[in-house]
Each structure stands twice: as C-alpha cells, then as structure tokens.
Amino acid sequence: MGENLIIVESPAKAKTIEKFLGKNYIVKSSFGHIRDLSKKNLGIDIDNGFEPFYEISADKKKIVADLCSAAKKAEIVWLASDEDREGEAIAWHLFDTLKLSPDKTKRIAFHEITKDAILNAIETPRDIDMNLVMAQQARRVLDRLVGFELSPILWKKVQPKLSAGRVQSVALRLIVDREREISIFKPQAYYRVEGIFAHDGSKSKIKAILNTKFSSAEETETFLKKCDGAHFYISAIDKKDTTRTPSAPFTTSALQQEAARKLGFSVNQTMTIAQKLYEAGLITYMRTDSTNLSSLAINTAKESISKMYGVEYSKVRHYHTKVKGAQEAHEAIRPTYINNTSIEGSSAEKKLYDLIWKRTISSQMADAKLEKTDITITSDNISEKFSVQAERIVFDGFLKVYIEGKDEDDENEKITLLPQLSKGQTMINKEIIATEKYTLRPSRYTEASLVKKLEELGIGRPSTYAPTISTISKRGYILKEDRAGIEREYLEISLKESKIVRTTRKEISGTEKGKLFPENIGLVVTDFLAKNFEDIIDYNFTAKVESDFDLIAAGDMVWNNAIGEFYVPFHKKVVKTMQENTHSNAERTIGTDPKSGKTIIARIGRFGPLVQKGTNDDPEKQFVSLKKGQLIENITIEDALQLFELPRTVGKYNDKEIIAAIGRFGPYIKYNSSFISLGKYLDPYTINEKEAISLIDEHAKKESEKYISEFPKHNIQVLNGRYGAYIKCGKDNFKIPKNTDPKSLDEAACLIIIENAKAKKK
DNA sequence: CAGTGAGCGAGCTTCCGCTTGACTT
C-alpha cells in the first residue's frame, strides 16, 4: 500500500479524488500554502536581491509533519496543487519543504474533479514550472514590501494599527472617490411626460412616454397646451425579433453579486454557506474565476434539460472567462450532480444551492426569442413623439429557469401585451401627466458591487474579495449602513379634460440600504496615500505589476530585477514621507459659535473624530465626538453646534433627573445611575420626558424579568439574556440545552450543565 | 460599559493569497 501520494490543496478535494483512485493512491491535502514570509519582520533580505525568508506557518506545522512522513513512505509523490501561480508555488514549497527527490516527484494538474481528468493528468505529468513559481514570489514580495513599508508610515503620520496595501487601499479609494462624486453632484430637475391613450373598440388604456424631456415647468406647460385638443394617431409600428442569451455560470464574484441581489446575503455569508455546500460535496469549488464547465457537467445538463423541459430548451454552450488576470484553475461554481434539483440543509443553504443550480442549468439552455414592438404616437402639429415599447416572449428558452438580477431599476417599464393596433389608427388622449424628476447621482457601492468593480480592475482574487472588505471595515475605514432618505417636493403638471393642473407632491429620495460609506479615518488615509503614493493607489497599479508577473512567468524577466525597479523609487518616497514633519488629522475650521464667538474646528483626535470649540491655544476649549457617519469634510456648523447640546436634561421622574447623551455605545439616557440605550429610533437631542419615562419603565420591567433563579452557594444565576435564557457562574456563561425549561433547573441540574460544558471544552 | 482630547516611551500594530476550523459571546 501507499505507493503513491497525491497532495492537493483542499481536504474536500482529497476525499473526492481518493474515491476515484485505487488502493495504490493516498490523497492528502496541504490546506493551501504551507510556508510564508516570516511573520515577525519583513522576511525579505533587501540588500541581497530581495531574498525571501520563508517559515512554515504556525498552523501548518502538524500538516507538514504528516505530509513529510507520508512522502517518505511513498514511491512517487504527485504534487497536484491548483494550476495557477499560487498553486505552482505551493507545489514548489512542498517539494522544497518535504525535501522530495526530483526522480520520485511529479507535478500534475487538473481543472475539474472528474475521474477522467485525474487519470489523464496522471498520464501526463510535468516538472514544476520555476518561472511561474518566481512570478508568485515576486507577487508575494511586492505585496509584503508595499504593505509593511506603507503601514508604519500611517502609524506615525495618522494613527497606530492602520494598514495599507496594494488591494485594500484601492478598494478603499473606490469608496472614497465615489462618496466625493456624490457630494459634489447637483441633481438636475427635468420633466418626464407620460400620455395615457385609449383607442376605439377597447376599454384598455396605453401608457406612452414622450421622447423629449423638458427642463422647466413653463416649457412643459407650453407643450401641454399644444396637446390640448390635438388629434393623435399611430404614426409607426415597428416589429423586431430579438433574442436574449443566458448568463455564464457562476464565478465567485458573480455568485456574490447574485446572492446579494436575490437573497440579500453579504459576501461573507455567501462564502460561508458555499463552503458548507462544497464540503458536503454538493457544489464544486467556490473560489474560482472560471466560467468553464466540465464536459461531464455539460452533458448531464443537456440530459436534464431535455428531460425536464424538452429538447428544444437545451443548447450546449462553452464559456470562456473574459475577466482581467483570470487564472482559471478551477471550474465554474456548479452543482456537483446536476440532476440534484434540490438538497437537504438549512434554508440559506437550500436557497444558495437553488441559485447555483438555476444559473448552471440556464447557462446550457436555448436563447429566449422575443418580439419587440415600438409604437409611435404623434399629432401633426406636434414635433415631439410618444412611444410605447412592448415585448412579447415568443419562446421563453432559458427564461423558464433563471433571470439575472439588476443593480439599478429600469426606468422605462415595458408592457408585455399589446392590443391589436394598426398604423394610422386614431388614439384618444385621456390624460397627459408630466412629472418632475431629478437626475440620479452615482450610487454608493454595496459589498457585491465593490467586488464586481475590483474584479473588473483585476484587483484581488476570488479568495480575497470577502476578506478585503472585512479588513477595511475592521480598520474603521468604511461602514456598511442603511441611511434614511430625505423628503423632497416635486411638481406634477397634468392635462385632463382641457384643464392644466399643477400639484406639488412629496417623495423620499436617497434611501440607502446596505451601502458602503467611508469614515473619517478612511478619508484621511486615502488622501494621505493619494498625496504621497499616488502610483500605488492608482486603479491600474495592479494591472501594471501583473504584466511584469506575466513576463516573469514567461521567462522573459528576472523576478528580483522587476522588484528592484519598483522598490528603489518607492523606498525613496517612503523615507522622504517619514521625514516630513506633518501629521494628518484632517483639521478643518467649520465656522464660529454665534453665542461665544469661538472658532469651531473639526479634526481627528486621540479617540477619533471630534469637534472643538475654541482654537488649539485656547485653554478652555471644549471637545465633543462626532456621531457615526458625520464627516469632518462636510459637517455643517449647525450639526457641529448641535453636538455641544449633549449631555442634556430631559426632565424628571420620581424627582430624579433624566439625562440624555451619546456614549461609547451610542445614545443613552441616564436615570437613577443606570444607563438605558436609546436604540435606533430615538434621538437624544429631541427625546422628551414622556418618551424617556416609558423607556425607563420598560427597562425596569426587563430587569425584573432577567432573574429566573439564583443559587448563591455556587455563585450560579439563571438569567434571561439577549439570546434567551442562560446560566451564569462567576464570570462564565453557559448554554442551556434545547428542550429544557430554564425555570425547571435546580442547582444540581445547573451544575451538571456546567460540568458537561467544561468537559467538552477540554 | 456610557470618559476621554497631557506626555513619556516600551512594545506592538501591518501586506496578499492559498486553505479550514476553533472559538463561541
């Protein structure tokens, strides 16, 4: 036994492959990279040609030891890591670390986990491609140099513990740039005109949109007057046959976008659920940039579609990835067994699986055939034209299963059914409604749309999209938030029965849900990097270095020469910036306090962004923290002054004062030396005595319900917490098993639960 | 846990990409 040892990256993959192969093969996994640059220091000998210093990662020591002993027993070791830059490096690190001998080591690669693909790979082994390994080394060293030289500058010039890097700093910049585009955006008002028409012999009405937009109410009215009493008729009917094509199967980025649009998942949620499905053997690998499907998958899809929907719904399609920098080491994300239309699991798992199944199936289905009709309604005295677009599905094709979601709503609705109409036919105008609209500002990124943008720019990899968003959130650079919109007025001008009527209406605009907003520190860091290291946060920086990595991989460039060319000018800037006697605190004078005449300044302080009343040399200057979401660069004097109104006395209850303020954990009221959080919907600036008292009563009621039972002998309490009842013993908390009534627990029962939990922990 | 906004200085922070668990509040 054990003549052959195959090493792959993922344990789930190892398990699958082992099933395909006979007893002569042992399949183990490396769990990704096994070595990395030293964690403690730079890990690069700059003066010695950027020689990297590699260490076995702490969490991989056991794995390496295990692989080492398995390799010793094996006759041949097959290095089957992924066929991309990182995978090639993993193969080489394994070769080097396990001290394998060249004559008993073979490098193989397969892009799909099927028996044929693996057997085929075993028949065509090759050597480790050292050029590709060096390209990976260049990538690794560059990222370390950028990250570990830029971050310390931020610690010194902005704030400790911050970070910068090739990927995260550009991701942040995208959000910052977008926010600034939005802040300078001035919405333009215009009038969109809709005509409602009827025709003889039918009660149904048709809505048609005018092809001209007016910029003022006067212009709009002039037009409406012209329409009054005009004779409208159909001047053109254009019919056109078109087709619609299904989307390619899922890559990681596409899956994250669709799961966000259709299921409301965060990118992290999507990846966690997908990982579960993958480990259960239900889907193929979930971190991929490839849209390719194995021929086995394509054939199974063809069969399934024919059986379920009919042969005419099937169309075999081969997809090729178009995205910049794609390495295509894996297949697209698809169900492992395509005829599995549904699975067992949590509701989130079922939903995600269903999405993946539908996307995969539809990608192998026929085009939808549509008949589009454009109808134009005019009047001889009027140069503007009304038009209606209708779309009729002649053959639904892939639409039977799946339609890709959209980020933005389509303004022009399309109707599907058209009554019988003919050219020249008279259309009776029932009403014309002109609505004031505003041009749309650019929209803020969602997690998923940020990933989409990063992918387009070739920045980051499928395995890093979710972690990158986590990093810039953890650093306090960005915030994912909902924001309420503001009410605004708009005018509606209508023409009905020869009367022109103006109505002012109200709408809520600018509501945001789950959008990414920059925080003050994110703005400061981006400005700092843009000023001193513009080339690094240039959107094309990655693309530029990637082309060098390609040259290295092709053997046309030496890796450390490429790094040297980058590093020398870069390091000069690092030294120069470090020496400059500046500190970025984003200080901005907002105005003066009308009461005291003192200057109001906003800046970043030791504990975050603040507003200051009085100049820096004023010994009696006062401070107050900014609220979440308030930005130094655009806070108004009114908002800044309002911050000084807290803490404020709201009123009295039982002769004791109620105070409202904002603390470290958000707005609260203080009463009788206890603190009560205001939550999302109450405002400390406006909360009144009555509201505060009802909050206090509610809080008191909850407190009284908190204690279920107490056993002071062992310092045990049974309490009601945020997530239900639990046992508290000293400072440790313990879960109460399901199906156990917390009220029924006596001291002995509690002790058993505690003992069991402690035993399990060990 | 519901503040803070001084200063000294030791010791620490940090990157991107591969992989999963191990913690659970």
Mean pLDDT in consecutive groups of 10 residues from the start of chain A, 762 residues? 87 95 94 96 96 96 97 97 97 98 96 92 97 98 98 94 97 98 96 92 86 97 96 95 97 98 97 97 97 96 97 97 86 96 96 98 98 95 94 95 82 67 91 97 97 97 97 95 94 96 97 96 96 97 97 98 98 95 90 93 91 90 89 94 89 89 82 82 85 86 78 81 74 76 82 76 56
AA letter at A76: I
Q: Measuring CA to CA, how many Å separate A455 from each of A5, A380, A440? A: 36, 51, 25
Cβ-in-10-Å burial (0-12, 13-18, 19+) of A192 comes to middle
Positions 6-45 of A with beta carbon below 7 A from strand B are: 9-13, 29, 31-33, 36-37, 39, 41
Say what the pLDDT of residue A413 is.
63
Nucleotide closest to A604 measured between CA and C1': B5
In this complex, the answer to whether residue A287 has its CB under 7 A from any atom of chain B, a nucleic strand, is yes
Say what the pLDDT of residue A729 is.
78
Contacts of A595 (CB under 8 A, 6+ apart): none
Q: Output the six-digit token pair for A322.
A: 């178009």
Q: Which nucleotides of B are covered by protein (CB under 7 A)?
A: 1-5, 12-21, 23-25
A625: closest CA among A604, A649, A598? A604
Say what the pLDDT of residue A177 is.
98
Answer positive or negative: Cα dihedral of A424, A425, A429, A432. Answer: negative
Say what the pLDDT of residue A677 is.
85
Pairing of strands A4-8, A25-29: parallel
Contact present, A641 and A593 (Cβ < 8 Å): yes
AA letter at A720: N
AA letter at A693: I
Say what the pLDDT of residue A83 is.
95
Provide the annotated active-site residues of A: 285
Contacts of A71 (CB under 8 A, 6+ apart): A5, A77, A98, A100
User: Across-strand partners of A377?
Assistant: A234, A386
Positions 46-75 of A with beta carbon below 7 A from strand B are: 59
Nucleotide closest to A33 measured between CA and C1': B18
Positions 651-690 of A with beta carbon below 7 A from strand B are: 661, 663-666, 668, 670, 675, 677
Three-state DSSP string of A329-345: CCCCECECCCCCCCCCC
Euclidean distance between CA atoms A750 and A744, whole angstroms: 10
In this complex, the answer to whether residue A459 has its CB under 7 A from any atom of chain B, a nucleic strand, is yes
AA letter at A222: T
